[in-house]
Amino acid sequence: MSKYLLIVILLVITSCSQNNIDKLHSSGQKSQTSTSNAKNITGELDINAAFRMVFGSYNNVKNMSEWKANKEFLDKYDIEETPLAIDEDSLLYVKPLAIESFKENNIDKKIIITISSPYSDFEDCHACGVVIGGMLFSKANNEWKLDIDQRYITIDGEFGHINEEYELVKIGDMHYGILLYPAYSGSGFNYKNLILITQVNNELKKVLELDKSSNNEGEADGRTRKLYSYDSKYAFIPKQGSEYYDLVIVQRGKLSLKKKNSMVIKQR
């Protein structure tokens, strides 16, 4: 099979749509949990201290804490019909996925991304992903203040897990986000997505989701089922007159003889 080069360039303004950019500048949204009376953390902020502050305890051996869903949470995020079968008073087990430090407007901040599941071993439901949540802290006078406690951002992953690959990225002169790369497989196919989580006013939100890579190596036979495989590289590029950067993604890979070289540029 001849090899061709597939190049796809997606020009995306941070959240993949102007509507989401407008939300970054809007006001009036509230975080899931009020933190105005939260006790601050003095000195070093690590997973242990953060989880004890937010969830009340932390099991260092199992690397997890626990929390309960309530009616307000379920009504807001409408997740009762998902394969996770979370209902009122469900006990959820929560683990850290990522912790990163950055500076915004000369203020030290830390973001922690969490995963939650009603299954303590995170494996009992093969059709399930995990609930992705997060916390955002800021530092002043050697004390860490909890700014956002967001138990739900999205649900992603498979077999009770999510790919642990992640990256802290600068998405503006004074803005940062976390890139996650959820991966999936089945019937000879392998996929990987790219999702961007960042602060939107008083919440942590998934503002971007794109296809990162895919292949059919387990299904292709070279005859009736041609092999395809591609992966992506990206860059956040400063944009004149905007506090947020453009995201440029280049996808390269193999095409069958029935396909032609292609280049697509999209502005959203």
Domain ranges in the chain? 30-162
Structure tokens of 90? 């469900």
Mean pLDDT over residues 137-152, rounded? 95
Check whether 8 has a pLDDT greater than 50: no
Residue 213, pLDDT above cutoff 50: yes
- Give the Cα separation of 193 and 32 in Å (integer): 26
Nearest to 211 by CA among 227, 189, 226: 189
Asked if residue 134 lies in contact with residue 20, where contact means CB atoms within 8 angstroms, the answer is no
pLDDT confidence band for 220 (50 / 70 / 90): confident
Q: 34-38, 61-65, 191-195: which range is least confident on average?
A: 34-38
pLDDT number for residue 38: 54
Q: What pLDDT score does 124 carry?
A: 62
Amino acid 196: pLDDT: 97
pLDDT at residue 20 is higher than 90:
no
Mean pLDDT of 6-19: 35
pLDDT in tens, 43-78: 899 999 999 999 999 999 999 999 998 888 888 887
Confidence check: pLDDT of 261 > 70? no
Which of the residue ranges 11-15, 155-159, 240-244, 254-258 would you say has the lowest mean pLDDT? 11-15
Pairing of strands 246-254, 183-186: unpaired
| DSSP three-state, residue 24 | helix
Position 253 scores a pLDDT of: 85
Task: Give the strand pairing for 263-267 and 7-13.
Answer: parallel
Q: What is the pLDDT of residues 112-140, one digit of tens each?
A: 999 999 888 877 666 788 999 999 999 99
Calculate what percentage of the chain has a pLDDT beyond 90.
48
Q: What is the mean pLDDT of residues 255-262?
A: 40
Rounded Cα distance, 80 and 70, in Å? 11
Amino acid of residue 107: I
Chain-wide mean pLDDT for the chain? 80
User: Are 68 and 33 a contacting pair, CB within 8 Å?
Assistant: no
pLDDT of residue 80: 63
